[in-house]
Amino acid sequence: MQRLGLTMDKNARLLALLAAIFAAAAMRLLPHPPNFSPIAAMALFSGAYMPRRLTAFVAPFAALLISDALLGGFYPGMNFVYLSFGLTVLIGWLVARQKTAVTIGAAAVASSVMFFVLTNFGMWLFSGIYPLTREGLVACYVAAIPFFQNTLAGDLTFTAALFGGFAIAERFLPAIRQARPAHARA
Please give the pLDDT value at position 83: 94
Q: Is 133 left (phi over 0), alpha (psi -120 to 50) or beta?
A: beta
Please choose, from the candidates 88, 71, 92, 70, the residue with its C-alpha nearest in 3D space to the C-alpha of residue 80.
88
Count how many Cα atoms sit within 13 Å of the Cα of residue 59 in the half-sphere of its side chain. Answer: 29
Say which residues have a Cβ less than 8 Å from residue 32's Cβ, sequence separation at least 6: 154
Going from the first residue of the chain to its last (186 residues), give the mean pLDDT of each consecutive group of 10, the final group possibly shorter.
Answer: 46 78 75 84 92 86 82 76 94 94 97 96 92 97 95 95 90 75 39
The reported pLDDT for the residue numbered 179 is 60
**Predicted local confidence at residue 5, as pLDDT:** 39
Per-residue pLDDT at 94 = 94
Q: DSSP letter at 2?
A: G
What whole-number distance in Å separates Cα of residue 47 and Cα of residue 61?
12
Phi-psi bin for 77: left (phi > 0), alpha (psi -120 to 50), beta? left
Q: What is the pTM of this model?
A: 0.81
The span from the CA of 95 to the CA of 116, in Å, is: 20
Query: What is the structure's pLDDT at 21?
Result: 78
Which of 98, 137, 89 minimizes the C-alpha distance to 117?
Answer: 137
